[in-house]
Amino acid sequence: MLEKAQKVLKTYFGYDDFRNGQKEVINDVINNRDVVAIMPTGAGKSICFQVPAALFSGITIVISPLISLMKDQVDSLNEVGIKATYINSTLDHHEINDRILNMRTGKYKLIYIAPERLESKAFIDTLSTMNIAFIAVDEAHCISQWGHDFRSSYRKIANFINRIHPRPIVGAYTATATEKVKEDIITLLNLDRPPIYVTGFDRPNLYFSVLKGEDRERFILSYLSENKGMTGIIYTSTRREAENIHNLLITNQIKAGLYHAGLSDQERNMAQNKFAYDDIDVMVATNAFGMGIDKSNVRFVIHNNIPKNMEAYYQEAGRAGRDGEKSECILLFAPKDIQLQSYFIDESNLPLERKENEYEKLRAMVDYCHTSQCLRKYILNYFAEDTAYENCGNCSNCNDDSEKVDITLEAQKIFSCVYRMNQRFGVGMVADVLKGSKNKKVLDGGLNHLSTYGIMKEHAKKDIVEMINKLAADNYLNLTNDGYPVLKLTNKAVLILKNAESVYMKVAKTKKRLDIDSELFEILKALRKRIALEGNIPPYIVFSDATLKEMSIYMPVNKMEFLNVKGVGEAKYEKYGEQFLLHINNYIEAEDIEISSLRDTSINSKRSIQKEGKTEKIPSHLITYEIFIQGKTINEIAEIRDVKVRTVENHIIQCLKDGMAVDIQKMVPHEYIGMIKEALKNCQEDKLRSIKEMLPEEVEYFWISLVKYEMILE
């Protein structure tokens, strides 16, 4: 039989030999054995059920959730001479009936169906009368609640199989599966003692890299400029980000498509077809795109944000280089992405146990971004695959030119602080204590009295956080799996505390030239955008990118310094100066930056943040904010400051517009937030009065303003 399979492979598909693992899986299927095949994207899973289907006298049913895959594979099969069809929601009633009639007459060898079809008793009754020899369950991880894409419709498959007599052979296929998921696939599909084939997750042709602190838009434009004509995918976490990046590319004359769940079926199909036919070079998409796409010449996949877990990341990244040619998988990491993914978990309707599992998977994804070890080794170890890699020579960690720095002393300080805080706090609080922060939570909890308080005050907080995350990624620290992860020491940390081992961390080599502070640049860009939106003018009219870059290098902190920045005149200073200076000073103080080490003598020399003892007037809304963050209500603040409630409300709105942390959930009743957002989206006029008229009488103007500016800042 295997010789016949080899002949089918050559005759229909044009290949002389099977790839690694395919022969073993096919051999078991054609010898009437159930199988589980775990093969990475691009390893040729489809051949493992298409070749047996061509050999069996009966029909093969392929169950798949991927409408795009159905069409691609059916078109490909018909092209090579194997009759196939699909039945899914893209067809109307008449088309479905025609295809069912042809199924009854034995016209097709393979029939692709969506799992939701199995919820129709009439459809199951129709199939159960046919000669079904083989059922292939693609994306089989979807049957498990522990999988990264659980679908309840997959739970119907076992009942469907039981309705067919004689029972057909069943094959389960997926790209990724943890031990829990493997067990669920076998149990929930009622597979009969199947062999489990894991062909290996390694994709040697893929170059993996993690980049931190990048100006994402600038990086993407630069990368695409250097790789003109290359085909690639850019993934984002939200529809808004996808649309923003798509607009950026179109503005820069890059042939790009857009794909997300908010578009119509027609728009998505059009974008997908343009990508498939090479009419566009780049697809900008949420994770709604790409499942089952057979396009083999994708040369790069850029993740603009971290995905929710390693399974999703590896599946999406694996869409690069399916033809075996060298390709790149680039992940642009920013800490705020963690908050977004945590929010998605928080807002889900998953039971507590599932949520904890999702937090654990997200933590592994974050650790991937911080680990110092070979990225390929990290991925393979995550999927429980042993590897000899210590240096694969084909990832950013193995190929970078960073300096290896001994951080044993810093690690000991961090571990000691975690221990003295009774292993009850998260990364941020531990960093605050080590930094010597005077924030309210630290002081109220008496944590400023610990012996470790302020013992790393010479470091910027973000650097302390980076070290903690690196230590967690390399298993010196554990984080609990919930919405508020807490740091715990591991046995590895004990060895460091006892000076039995050393810890090293890769850091970028010190550059002699002044560099843009990309984080401050992003903060100033966000401020510029808010000002532009309020003034209904393009952002570049406020300040050019070149001006913002100079601000990010020299960090002016007063009027004289601000006027020395190219592109800033008196009129611009009067309009915008105070807002920009406030953000720059806040950033300097938050990061404990020594200005004199950055300052070019042409701007100013040897001046500390303290402004040489000069007392500057603090803006009134900042005084309000200081009282506000102590937990006082609007009315209490008005009484303390002897001002009107409306004045306090205006101060809070100004703080929100300036990018300060304002929790609107504490001021706007929860039941009205969604209502206000809907009104803001649907109102044709941008006037508060018009918006209020669309809402219940009790909704206050203040609530509308808060929700409005929070939406602008999202």
Residues 372-407: tens digit of each pLDDT: 889 999 998 888 777 777 788 899 988 876 667 888
Answer whether residue 294 is part of any domain.
Answer: yes
Q: Is the pLDDT of residue 337 over 50?
A: yes
Q: Is the pLDDT of residue 650 over 60?
A: yes
Q: Is the pLDDT of residue 302 over 50?
A: yes
Most confident stretch, 335-349, 406-420, 467-481: 406-420
Residues 293 and 150 grouped into a single domain: no
654-676 confidence digits (pLDDT tens):
887 777 778 888 788 887 888 88
R_g of the chain, CA atoms, integer Å: 29
Residues 219 and 285 grouped into a single domain: yes
Residue recorded with tokens 């042809």: 102
Please compute the mean of the pLDDT values over residues 635-661 and round it to a whole number.
Answer: 78
Q: Which residues contact 703 (CB under 8 A, 6 or more apart)?
A: 667, 668, 669, 672, 676
Domain boundary among the residues 198, 229, 262 is at 198
Answer whether residue 513 is part of any domain.
Answer: no
Do the Cβ atoms of 103 and 111 come closer than 8 Å?
Answer: yes
151-161 confidence digits (pLDDT tens):
888 999 999 99
Q: Is the pLDDT of residue 291 over 60?
A: no
Please compute the mean of the pLDDT values over residues 42-68 and round it to a whole number.
Answer: 88
432-460 confidence digits (pLDDT tens):
999 998 888 899 999 999 999 999 988 88
The model's confidence at residue 293, banded by pLDDT at 50, 70 and 90, is low
Do the Cβ atoms of 12 and 4 come closer than 8 Å?
Answer: no
Average pLDDT, the chain: 84
pLDDT confidence of residue 250: 94
Q: Is the pLDDT of residue 619 over 70?
A: no
Instruction: State the CATH number of the domain containing residue 84.
Output: 3.40.50.300
Instruction: State the CATH number of the domain containing residue 407.
Output: 1.10.10.10
Strand extents, DSSP E, 282-325: 282-285, 300-303
pLDDT confidence of residue 194: 94
Residues 25 and 150 grouped into a single domain: yes
- 353-362 long-range CB contacts below 8 Å, 24 or more apart? 354/145, 354/146, 355/482, 355/483, 356/481, 356/482, 357/146, 357/481, 358/308, 358/309, 359/481, 359/482, 359/483, 359/485, 360/481, 361/148, 361/308, 361/309, 361/310, 361/311, 362/308, 362/309, 362/338
Q: Is the pLDDT of residue 594 over 60?
A: no
Answer whether residue 646 is part of any domain.
Answer: no
CA dihedral 216, 217, 222, 223 (to 10 degrees): 60
Domain boundary among the residues 146, 166, 198 is at 198
Instruction: State the CATH number of the domain containing residue 539.
Output: 1.10.150.80
Residue recorded with tokens 């300036």: 658
Residues 217 and 173 grouped into a single domain: no
Answer whether residue 647 is part of any domain.
Answer: no
pLDDT confidence of residue 19: 83
Do the Cβ atoms of 478 and 493 come closer than 8 Å?
Answer: no
Residues 163 and 239 grouped into a single domain: no
Q: Is the pLDDT of residue 42 over 80?
A: no
pLDDT confidence of residue 160: 92
489 to 174, 459, 505: CA distances (angstroms): 36, 22, 18
The model's confidence at residue 566, banded by pLDDT at 50, 70 and 90, is confident
Q: Which residues contact 478 (CB under 8 A, 6 or more apart)?
A: 472, 487, 488, 489, 490
The model's confidence at residue 617, banded by pLDDT at 50, 70 and 90, is very low
Residues of the chain with pLDDT > 90: what percent? 30
Do the Cβ atoms of 89 and 95 come closer than 8 Å?
Answer: no
Residues 328 and 394 grouped into a single domain: yes
Maximum C-alpha span of the chain: 92
pLDDT confidence of residue 36: 95
Answer whether residue 625 is part of any domain.
Answer: no
Residues 441 and 554 grouped into a single domain: no
Answer whether residue 390 is part of any domain.
Answer: yes
Domain boundary among the residues 157, 181, 198 is at 198
pLDDT confidence of residue 596: 44
488 to 12, 492, 493, 585, 655: CA distances (angstroms): 57, 11, 10, 35, 36
Which DSSP category does 597 fall into? Answer: G
Is the C-alpha dihedral spanning 426, 428, 433, 439 positive or negative? Answer: negative
Q: Which domain holds residue 319?
A: 206-343+364-399
Residues 147 and 219 grouped into a single domain: no
The model's confidence at residue 409, banded by pLDDT at 50, 70 and 90, is very high
- Confidence (pTM): 0.56
Residues 14 and 135 grouped into a single domain: yes
Answer whether residue 440 is part of any domain.
Answer: yes
Q: Is the pLDDT of residue 630 over 80?
A: no
* Number of domains comprising the chain: 5
Answer whether residue 641 is part of any domain.
Answer: no
Residues 221 and 330 grouped into a single domain: yes
Q: Is the pLDDT of residue 56 over 70?
A: yes
Residues 153 and 180 grouped into a single domain: yes
Residues 368 and 263 grouped into a single domain: yes
Please compute the mean of the pLDDT values over residues 76-104 and round it to a whole number.
Answer: 89
pLDDT confidence of residue 511: 36
